[in-house]
Amino acid sequence: VSTQLTIHLAISEQDILRFERIASPSMPTNIPSSVRLWNGVEMPRLGLGTHKASGPELLQAVQLAVKVGYRHIDTASIYKNEAEIASALKVAGAPERVFVTTKVSPYQQGYDQATKAVMRSMENLGTDCVDCVLIHWPGVARTPGVSEMNASKRAETWKALEDLYKAGKCRAIGVSNYSIAHLQGLIQNCTVRPMVNQVELHPRLSQHELRQACKEMNVAVVAYSPLGTGLLVDNPTVIRISEKLGRTPAQVLLRWGLQKDICVIPKSITKERIVGNSQVFDFEIEESDMAELDELEDDHHFCWNAAHVL
């Protein structure tokens, strides 16, 4: 993708001023815009997910997100869009101001493969140091969940990330889709503890026990699919609370996550949703409404569940 590609963004000065207002230090809520990882690195709490996004739509989405104040972009080697994201950030003039997370795929598990994968991601992203690298899945691709190979390969992969972190190639390292058991196994044998665990998380899958375990392990939790792959915006409880607050259902769902002390990375490629999803720092959901949202819990996965991976 040419870095000379320019996409004209239909965004008004009013949109920009609105974001600057809600992101200012004087905003009434007490949720900071970033979380400090245990190693001192600041990771923005709100990010843009890019799963299945590519081409001009992705370039426009990333540039718009940066323009309205997003400072975290989430990608992965398996998304095959790292180079496009790098191009979009360069056009936006923001490569150094945006925190980028990428991931080692299940097809890249093992010390040598993971090392090569991260180096390839660095090349795609046009950097010699990635902000955050995660192990995308606790298992090996096309391997039964009960296979002992999963544990041995993810241990090798983590060793690769540790060495890359120690060499200054990553500012932070972590995991994705890890259960409590996966985290415990990693921490018992690592030399560098994970800083992040990115999992599916929303009111129907609040991951309470996992969040508590991560808190005790000092691991930051990042929610992917915080809108339940977009399906929860039609939930009657979410709609009722959004109407009460004068907010969109998506904003209510994202704010619910922020008030649970997690980071959220909603995916969108449309202007209205990208701008709207950024406006979640200037209001608060009261306890009774948070409790109603909590009652939606039914342990429902819209995406993937790694519980079967040993």
pLDDT in tens, 27-67: 345 688 999 999 999 999 999 999 999 999 999 999 999 99
Query: What's the pLDDT at 83?
Result: 97
Tell me the pLDDT tens digit for each residue of 106-142: 999 999 999 999 999 999 999 999 999 999 999 999 9
State the catalytic residues: 79
Q: What single-letter amino acid sits at 185?
A: G
Q: What single-letter amino acid sits at 6?
A: T
Burial of 116 (0-12, 13-18, 19+ CB in 10 A): middle
C-beta atoms surrounding 269 within 10 Å: 21
- CA–CA separation, 51 and 10 (whole Å): 23
Whole-prediction pTM: 0.91
Nearest to 158 by CA among 184, 134, 122, 127: 134
Least confident segment among 2-11, 50-59, 142-151, 202-211: 2-11
Burial of 13 (0-12, 13-18, 19+ CB in 10 A): exposed
Identify whether the C-beta of residue 221 lies closer than 8 Å to the C-beta of residue 66.
no
- CA–CA separation, 201 and 224 (whole Å): 6
Residues making up the chain, counted from first to last? 310
